[in-house]
Amino acid sequence: MKVAVFGAKRYDREMLTELNAAHGHALTFFEARLEPGTVALAAGFPAVSIFVNDQVDAAVAEALAAGGTRLVATRSTGFNQIDLHAAARHGLRVTRVADYSPHSVAEFATGLLLSLNRRIHKAHERTRSGNFELDGLMGFDLHGRTVGVIGTGKIGRVFARIMAGFGCTLLGHDPQEHPEFEALGGRYVSVEHLAAESDVISLHCPLTDGTRHIVNADFLARTRPGLLLVNTSRGGLLDTRAAIAALKSRRLGGLAIDVYEQEASLFFQDRSSDIIDDDLIQRLVSFPNVLLTGHQAFFTREAFGTICATTLESVTAFERGEELVNEVVAPG
Ligand code: NAI
């Protein structure tokens, strides 16, 4: 089947090309993101594959369908970039990668937390320029601290297990309570209780209308002074302006993010020679207690291999008229 692969980087091309030997699809790679200005490239492709910052809104869904596309296969777990109702209206089926190494993201969140708490990124910068001073690098023992996990699905539970290994007390918030989280010693509480009682909070829920800005000014006003906040889920979960205000007032002790509300125009590109006219991200990186990475938590050999393999399997199943095990449909 002819597949247009949007947002294709060198690593996408290499992995998809290698794994496609078992499928025989005709893959065409576009570095561009799929959005209103690029959707014309998809004309004549029955399947398109996209990534987290592509945009399948109503206009793009309509244009895709008009160009003959029938399948949108996102190479991600989250599908908040796709208007599922519009896709359904235009007869587009949508698949995602429901399952890939949750360890990739949970381990990365742990790495961010350790770096943020113990200032490892700062120490690295210092020693490279011959500064072996410890002043300003003091952290705290995670052992005995309370860690709040918002979203205790696959990734949240692996993260919780790692934190249990450190000897932390676990609080969770999730509309769907998982016995496995409780088996780790975790206790489900309201989001307000979690905000008030945690020394560390890590976000692992999907971005939906109900979770957008789940961490906002109200939430941050309830937190313990010095809270460390980690977000490896989706940028829209955190109200960035509220986080900046909480950092300025010193209430928020540190912020580590792999995702950012306005990442679509920045991430996955080398913008180092450009003037970046996003004042929020520029303000964020100016804080010594903010650690920012460019949406790389998923990026391990294991997770990325599964992402590419599952995407190709979805296209093959679609071509053969088989059941789409990774299909996502609009609620209701
Ligand atoms: P999952 O579906 O296994 O778990 C999500 C959990 O969040 C579920 O238990 C669900 O009930 C819960 N949830 C839903 N609404 C909630 C709310 N209002 N409050 C608290 N919890 C709520 O998903 P998984 O695989 O654990 O992934 C979680 C998220 O991680 C994805 O939606 C995606 O946004 C993000 N992600 C980020 C990656 C990165 O590279 N930075 C890579 C992969 C996923």
Question: What is the residue extent of each domain of the chain?
Answer: 2-100+300-328, 102-292
CB-ligand 1 contact for 90 (6 Å cutoff): no
CB-ligand 1 contact for 237 (6 Å cutoff): no
Question: Residue 146 Cα, ligand 1 centroid: separation in angstroms?
Answer: 21
DSSP 8-state class, residue 40: G
CB-ligand 1 contact for 5 (6 Å cutoff): no
Q: Distance between CA atoms of 168 and 284, rounded to whole angstroms?
A: 28
Q: How many residues does the chain have?
A: 332
Task: Give me the pLDDT at residue 13, please.
Answer: 98
Catalytic residues: 234, 263, 295
| Superfamily holding 2-100+300-328 | NAD(P)-binding Rossmann-like Domain (3.40.50.720)
Task: Give me the pLDDT at residue 331, please.
Answer: 85
Question: Residue 233 Cα, ligand 1 centroid: separation in angstroms?
Answer: 7
From the alpha carbon of 150, which atom of ligand 1 is closest? 20
Please give the C-alpha separations between residue 45 and each of 14, 16, 61, 158, in angstroms, as whole numbers: 21, 17, 13, 38
Query: What pTM, to 2 d.p., does this model score?
Result: 0.94
Q: Given the structure tokens 């990668």, which residue do they identify?
A: 97
From the alpha carbon of 258, which atom of ligand 1 is closest? 41
CATH topology match: 2-100+300-328 vs 102-292? yes
Q: Determine the CATH number of domain 102-292.
A: 3.40.50.720
Contact criterion met (CB below 8 Å) for 257 and 292? yes
Task: Give me the pLDDT at residue 197, please.
Answer: 98
Q: Distance between CA atoms of 171 and 174, rounded to whole angstroms?
A: 10
Interior CA angle at 155 toward 150 and 161, to 5°? 85
Per-residue pLDDT of the chain (332 residues; tens, 9 = 90+): 999 999 999 999 999 999 999 999 999 999 999 999 999 999 999 999 999 999 999 999 999 999 999 999 999 999 999 999 999 999 999 999 998 999 999 999 999 999 999 999 999 999 999 999 999 999 999 999 999 999 999 999 999 999 999 999 999 999 999 999 999 999 999 999 999 999 999 999 999 999 999 999 999 999 999 999 999 999 999 999 999 999 999 999 999 999 999 998 899 999 999 999 999 999 999 999 999 999 999 999 999 999 999 999 999 999 999 999 999 999 87
Best mutation site among 205, 257, 326 for ligand 1 pocket (most ligand atoms within 8 Å of CB): 205
Partner residues linked to 71 by β-bridges: 47, 93
The DSSP code sequence of 117-163 is HHTHHHHHHHHHTT----TT------TT-EEEEE--SHHHHHHHHHH
Task: Give me the pLDDT at residue 332, please.
Answer: 76
